[in-house]
Every structure is written in structure tokens, then in C-alpha cells.
Chain A
Amino acid sequence: MSQILTGPLAVAGVSTILALVIAILDKFLNNYGDMEVSINSGKKKLTVKGGSPLLGTLAAEGIFVPSACGGRGSCGACKCKVLTDVGPHLPTELPYMIPKEIEQNIRLACQIKVRQNLEIELPEELFSIKKFKAKVESLKDLTYDIKELYLALEDQGIEFQAGQYLQLVVPPYGDITESTQRAYSMSSRPSDKKHVELLIRLVPGGIATTWVHKHLKQGDTVEVVGPFGEFQIHDTPATMICVAGGSGMAPFKSMLHHMHETGAFPEKEIWYFFGARTQKDIFYLDELSKLSSTWPRFHFVPALSEQPTPEEGWQGEVGLITDVLDRYLQGKIDKSKGFEGYLCGSPGMINACINVMKKNAMAEDKIYFDKFA
């Protein structure tokens, strides 16, 4: 018996000693001590513990640089300008950089470590981004693959512009051992500062969407970071041509309710094209149809890409959303005030809509979009 135990005990003992040696060496060799991170020519100075990636170091100080992958180096979102020489760009950074960014020493905050005092530049608006704790007040099925997640913020309220997005913090679950973050547009109205609503479509194999669809429950506590983004209504009299599909509904729901509730941008006509495959994939239909019948400057155009049967009694348009958009731009919408395009969806959908809009003489610099990628 004692012989059977001796081997495993010896292995465990040696492993423990090695782990202790590594921990002690790590403490001394990788101890960079306190470092200073100076932001925007010293407007903000942070004293931080050195050695960790800049992204996490800033987050620990309450400065949240956008990141869609949670610091894994696979989204390229956490770009910031580093004025201090921290060595050449890493192979993990280069795929996300255009030559001009490399020249300007734009870096991925998740890939460079704070091993010396750093001078960096960040957009001022990042300083107003906060982390919020929230409770899941409701989690409703809108379609078989889209859920409406309604969160009650604890402690503090949120100030945001309709069209902006949040990052949902996904904790480790199942086989996922690390926390990660994903970006979702807010569909709630900005006037409700104590709640945020997100529309989340299940992406097959997706970490965050699987967590929301299959693990998250009413009453759970979650964390969100934000607000981020520049996808907002432009203050001009031009007619808004909005196009979305699926969970791309989110920023438009927020914009529409904000404009309806506050009377903001009173000169703007709004046309909202929403595409889905079948009637089962359309949601908020009654709500938006009612809004369009009671709010004269709002026009809702839902469209099904798959021909419905006569029994379904579909009253709306049929065809790919780009074809429907093309038909309307060619003659069904008053052009006198000019057009602005607002798009939210997959890169393929956005590119296809931009082509249709340009073909119909819409200026490319008046087409604004929130790409899922």
C-alpha cells in the first residue's frame, strides 16, 4: 500500500516545489513595480502595477477601451495611440492595422504590456464609459433565435445616445474558462436611465449568444460596460432611410422611441425597412405598425424574403430587403429633403444596401452604419 502511495506523493511533492519556485521567480523577475500611464498629454495620469496588458490595466482603473473579444487579440477593436517606444508591432497586431496606423504607432491595447512608463492617446469620450452591474429583469423569446434581454441597472443610471452599444461581460461557463465580452446595441430608450434592453440573436457556436440563450436566467446578475459607438441620429432635415434585419432592429427601436417620445429632429421623415425570411422571423410587427399609423412622419416597411403562402395573409412587401429598398428609393419616397442612410446588420447586408443607396444617388458620406463585424 505504502509503495502505491509513494510514487504519486513524490510527484505531487515535486510539482508543489516547482510551482512554488516558479511563483517566487515570477514575483521577482516579472515585478515591474509601479508604472505611470500618462493619457492625452498628461490630462490623466495613472499609477499602475506594471507587467499586465494595457487593456486590462486601463480597465482596472475604470477606463474601458472597446474590445469585442475581451483581450484575446482576435477583434482588433482596442486600438490606441502609444507615443512611447514599446518596440515593433507584434505579429498578433499586424492583421488589424493599415500602414497608416502602423506609421502612427497605433497599437492593440490588449497586446502591449505595461513594462515601462507609457504615454498614450485615447478618445476623450472613453473617460465617460463605465461598468454597470445589472439584474436580468426579463428575458423573452422574440423569435426562435432572438431574445430580448431587459436589464435593471443597479447603483447608477446610464446616459447614452440612441444607437450606441454596450459590451456584455460573459463570465466563464461550461467549458469556457475565461470571461469574455461582446458588443450589443441598446434597443431601449435613452430616457429610461435605470434599464437597458438588448436584442441578442443566437449565433451557432457563439460563446456570448449561447450563454444568453441557454444559460442566463431571470434574476441573474450581469455586468455591462458602455456606452460606446458613434452610430447616432444626425441633426439635419434629411429623410432617414433605415435598414435592418434580425437583431439589427436594436438601435432603430431605440432611435424611433427616442424621436417619438421627445419630438427630437422634428423635420426628419423616417423610413424603416426591416427584412426577415418568414413571418415567424418578424418581431415587434404590431408595435411598429401601430407606431407608423399614429406617427405621420414614420413609415415602416417590413419585407419577407421567402414568398408567403396566401393562407398566411401577409400584407407587407416580399423580396430581399435590398430589392424592396431599391423599389422604394426609385419612386415611392419624397426626395426633396435629401436622404441619409442608417444601416445595421452583417457586413454583407450593409455592403449590399450601400450599393443600392449609391445606385439611387445617395451620397456615400451620408450613409452611416453599425456593422456586426
Chain B
Amino acid sequence: MKIKPSDKEAFSRMGPGILTAQGFLGIDIRSPEEIIAEDEAAFVRLGLDFDQAADELTRLAEEGAKGLGEPIRIGKLLVQSGDARGMLPCPWNDGLFHKTAVSLRPADLPPEACVEGEDMLIYSELSIHLLKVHHFCQGLGSPFRLEPELIAEFLKK
């Protein structure tokens, strides 16, 4: 990945307590450029496309919003779309996004049995933007990390 000055600035804003309390890197010891490069490779390996994945996650969020805050079944998934007050800026400074929280879980598992990042994907408007525009899935351990393997698994359902 060729690092531009705007990338360097964005990376400097990804730690906890700068743009968000938790930050974007979780417990990942890799640098943001390594995270992006490795996730790009994972996308190729899994036959995923960043645009298509982002569009599909957006569609699921919109369908989930029809549950009016309660989870609803969409195909084999249980989707819940919620909102919190306020907006979040992108670390690359190219947009502000509503604080939404969408969760995807397999509908055949009891919701309480699902573990974040293992069999449950959580994302926000900002996560989708980061995925689509910057190919940034966030660091391991970040609650909003879009794990490529999990995206591939959920988009098949």
C-alpha cells in the first residue's frame, strides 16, 4: 500500500480517545497500513469485492431498520438496526456519519449465544464508509471490525 500524507494523518487519528473513545484499532499490534493490506489480500482470497460488500451491508442495514429498533429476520440472518445520538467523523476527514449500530447474527442461533466478532457482525454507517472508500475493516478487537471471513460467511446467507 502506498502511503499518502492524508493516510498518515488518518492513521494518527485512529487511537482511542481521539475521534471515538474506543478508537479504530482495537488490540491489533499491526499498523493501519498492514491491517488494510492484509484485509485487501483476504478480500481477494475470499472472492469479495469492497464495493459489493459495502452495498450489501447497507442493504441489510436498511432492511433491518424496518424492525423499528427490534431485530428482524432477513433470510437466514437476524438483523437489528439501532441509533445513538450524534455523528462520527471519518479519520480521513471525508465525511460525518450517523452513530448507527447494526448487528447481524445467524437467525438459527439464540441471540444471547452470539459472540461479537465470532458469529456476530457489528457495523455503523462509518464502518461501511471505511470499508467502501478506504478498504479499512478496523483492527482486531475493535467492536466494529468487519472481519473479512465473517462478511463472506454472512453475505452467503
Seen from chain A, the residues whose Cβ lies within 8 Å of a Cβ on chain B are 68-69, 72, 74-77, 95-96, 144-145, 175-178, 180, 183, 203-207, 210, 245-246, 248, 275-277, 281, 305-306, 320-322, 345-349, 352, 372-373
- Residue of A68, A74, A95 contacting most chain B CB atoms (<10 Å): A74
A-B contacts, 19 of them at CB < 8 A, read: A68-B86, A69-B85, A74-B87, A74-B88, A76-B85, A95-B87, A176-B21, A177-B16, A183-B85, A204-B101, A204-B143, A245-B69, A281-B70, A345-B68, A346-B83, A347-B83, A373-B84, A373-B85, A373-B99
A304 to B99, CA, bound (A): 27
Are B69 and A373 within 8 A (Cβ)? no
> Which residue of chain B has its CB nearest to the CB of A68?
B85
Q: Point out the residues of chain B lying under 8 angstroms from A144, CB to CB.
A: 110-112
Are A204 and B69 within 8 A (Cβ)? no
Are A349 and B68 within 8 A (Cβ)? yes
Interface flags, B95-133, vs A, CB<8A=1, else 0: 010110101000000111000100010101000000000
The answer to whether B29 has its CB under 8 Å from any CB of chain A is: no
Report which of B20, B69, B112 forms a contact with A345, defined as CB distance below 8 A.
Answer: B69
Q: Point out the residues of chain B lying under 8 angstroms from A77, CB to CB.
A: 85-86
Are A204 and B85 within 8 A (Cβ)? no
B93: min CB distance to chain A, Å: 9
Are B101 and A206 within 8 A (Cβ)? yes
Are B68 and A321 within 8 A (Cβ)? yes
Q: Point out the residues of chain A lying under 8 angstroms from B110, CB to CB.
A: 144
Report which of A69, A177, A322 forms a contact with B68, defined as CB distance below 8 A.
Answer: A322
A165 to B20, CA, bound (A): 24
Interface flags, B40-82, vs A, CB<8A=1, else 0: 0000000000000000000000000111111111000000011
Are A277 and B101 within 8 A (Cβ)? no
A367: min CB distance to chain B, Å: 16
- Residue of A72, A183, A352 contacting most chain B CB atoms (<10 Å): A72
Q: Point out the residues of chain A lying under 8 angstroms from B98, CB to CB.
A: 373
Given contacts A74-B87, A207-B22, A348-B81, contact A246 B70 (CB under 8 A): yes
Given contacts A206-B101, A277-B70, 19 further A-B pairs with CB under 8 A are: A68-B85, A76-B86, A175-B22, A175-B27, A176-B16, A176-B21, A176-B22, A178-B21, A203-B101, A205-B116, A210-B143, A245-B70, A276-B70, A306-B72, A346-B82, A346-B83, A352-B68, A373-B85, A373-B99
> Which residue of chain B has its CB nearest to the CB of A349?
B68
A76: min CB distance to chain B, Å: 6
Q: Point out the residues of chain B lying under 8 angstroms from A183, CB to CB.
A: 85
Report which of B27, B82, B120, B144 forms a contact with A372, defined as CB distance below 8 A.
Answer: B82
The answer to whether B17 has its CB under 8 Å from any CB of chain A is: yes
B131: min CB distance to chain A, Å: 15
A255 to B111, CA, bound (A): 31
A295: min CB distance to chain B, Å: 27
A74 to B20, CA, bound (A): 9
Are B70 and A348 within 8 A (Cβ)? no
Are A275 and B68 within 8 A (Cβ)? yes
Report which of A176, A204, A277, A305 forms a contact with B122, defined as CB distance below 8 A.
Answer: A204
A178 to B18, CA, bound (A): 10
> Which residue of chain A has its CB nearest to the CB of B69?
A346
Are B69 and A74 within 8 A (Cβ)? no
> Which residue of chain B has its CB nearest to the CB of A277?
B70
Given contacts A204-B101, A205-B143, contact A95 B96 (CB under 8 A): yes
A145 to B71, CA, bound (A): 12
> Which residue of chain A has its CB nearest to the CB of B127?
A205
Q: Point out the residues of chain B lying under 8 angstroms from A275, CB to CB.
A: 68, 70
A210: min CB distance to chain B, Å: 8
A372 to B68, CA, bound (A): 12
Report which of A76, A203, A322 forms a contact with B87, defined as CB distance below 8 A.
Answer: A76
A78: min CB distance to chain B, Å: 11
A123 to B89, CA, bound (A): 29
Are B101 and A205 within 8 A (Cβ)? yes
Q: Point out the residues of chain A lying under 8 angstroms from B116, CB to CB.
A: 204-205
A373 to B100, CA, bound (A): 9
Q: Point out the residues of chain A lying under 8 angstroms from B120, CB to CB.
A: 204
Report which of B21, B26, B83, B143 forms a contact with A180, defined as CB distance below 8 A.
Answer: B21
A122: min CB distance to chain B, Å: 20
Are B85 and A372 within 8 A (Cβ)? yes
B116: min CB distance to chain A, Å: 6
Are A205 and B144 within 8 A (Cβ)? yes
A-B residue pairs, 9 tightest by C-beta: A205-B143, A75-B86, A144-B112, A349-B68, A346-B69, A373-B83, A204-B122, A74-B86, A68-B85
A176 to B73, CA, bound (A): 33
Are B68 and A245 within 8 A (Cβ)? yes
Q: Point out the residues of chain B lying under 8 angstroms from A346, CB to CB.
A: 68-69, 81-83
Q: Point out the residues of chain A lying under 8 angstroms from B101, CB to CB.
A: 203-206
A203 to B103, CA, bound (A): 9
